[in-house]
Structure 1
Amino acid sequence: MSATDNAISVAQAAAQAAADKMGTDIVAFDVSEQLAITDIFLVVSAASERQVGAVVDGVEEALLKQKLKPTRREGDRENRWVLLDYVDVVVHVQHEEERSMYSLERLWKDCPRIELNLQEPAEEQGKDA
């Protein structure tokens, strides 16, 4: 079994929202074969605690427009690693130091990556015109 089309769509929307808030190193893994509790892990880096908060807010706002609310939110007090659980998709927004230390990519390297088809962040699109 692999990630559902709906889960992929949610992950892509969350990834685009993270990119729009200057999240970096955005990757998604199809973990549906290894975990019964979710289909996709989306991992995003941010340069500071403030940036982690901005990315988390951007993801929540974008998915709220699709009438999706996280069933669980953890780690937002320190803004070093915030987890947003949307059941089929779990979003990990990590400070760059936490990303390096915990290396989720290494843990899930055997899982297929999901193509996110990210566009340039919305703020960057208008600069070339």
Structure 2
Amino acid sequence: MKITKVELSSKELSKIVVEGMLEKKALDVVVLDLKKINQSIADYFVICSGNTVNQVDAISESIEEVVYKHIQENPWHKEGKDNKEWILMDYVNVVAHVFRKDRRDFYALEDLWGDAIVTKIDPDNDPNNIYNY
């Protein structure tokens, strides 16, 4: 049986990344829509935090597993797996950023991309509609 790769939009891929983050209880998940920003490097940044290096590592592994399960794709590029303070996973049009909480506060990506449309994902307050952005 031949397995074919699934094609999907960058928005759909960002939702899959969110799913991977939430499986490991990622904190403060936000999606930055960068599509309307001139010369942006991706369509979406999906950003979250973990409390410990172990949680940061687990979140990044979960993202990889969930994305691969859905579309049989690995990240085009990964960084930060050694120190586990900020792991970047580049899926070309969607970039996942998994921070240890103090590192996220220091780098403040949300502030650097102030023109982006920001969607905060809150599964506790709205578990059925966390992907409506």
The TM-score bracket by the shorter chain reads 0.7 to 0.9
Of 46, 49, 65, the residue aligned with 2:50 is: 46
Deviations 1:22-76 (A, max 9, x none): 1110001111223343111110100000000000000000001121210100010
Structure 2 residue 51 is matched with structure 1 residue 81: no
Matched, 1:18 2:18: no
DSSP-derived class of the 2:39 partner: coil
8 Å CA contact 2:44–2:94 kept in 1: the answer is yes
The 3-state SS of whatever aligns with 1:64 is helix
After TM superposition, which residue ranges in structure 1, 4 or more long, deviate above 6 angstroms?
none
Pairs aligned (count): 116
* Secondary structure, aligned partner of 1:113: strand
Q: What is the CA–CA distance in structure 2 between the aligned matches of 1:80 and 1:25, rounded to whole Å?
A: 16
Q: Which residue of 2 aligns with 1:123?
A: none
Task: Show structure 1 runs of 5+ residues with no match.
Answer: 121-129
- Look up the match of 1:99: 104
Range that drifts further, 95-104 or 36-45: 36-45
Amino acid at match of 1:47: N
The share of aligned pairs that are identical, in percent, is 28
Aligned residue for 1:105, secondary structure, equals helix
